[in-house]
Amino acid sequence: MAASFKNTDEEISFCLKQVSIYSNRATLLLKRKEEVSTSSPRKGKRIKKQYLSDEQRDKLYQKAIS
């Protein structure tokens, strides 16, 4: 998608909006992936939450923004 800009400020503004959009998407993806169910609620067990390590979170973030 090629866009033409009248000036540099307009181009910078557009780029910042794009970065903000992708950052918000990545944050939502991380929130969804961060909590992983380790037991089935159907069996009546309490659901334990397992959190991603920092390394896994960084990999997921990079994948989300690429």
For residue 46, pLDDT over 70 is answered with no
pLDDT of amino acid 41? 57
Percent of the chain with pLDDT over 70: 65
Report how far residue 49's alpha carbon sits from residue 35's, in angstroms, rounded to the nearest whole number. 6
Residue tagged 């896994």 (tokens): 56
- Sequence ranges of the domains in the chain: 35-66
For residue range 5-36, what is the model confidence (pLDDT) as tens digits?
788 888 888 888 888 888 888 888 777 765 55
pLDDT score at 3: 66
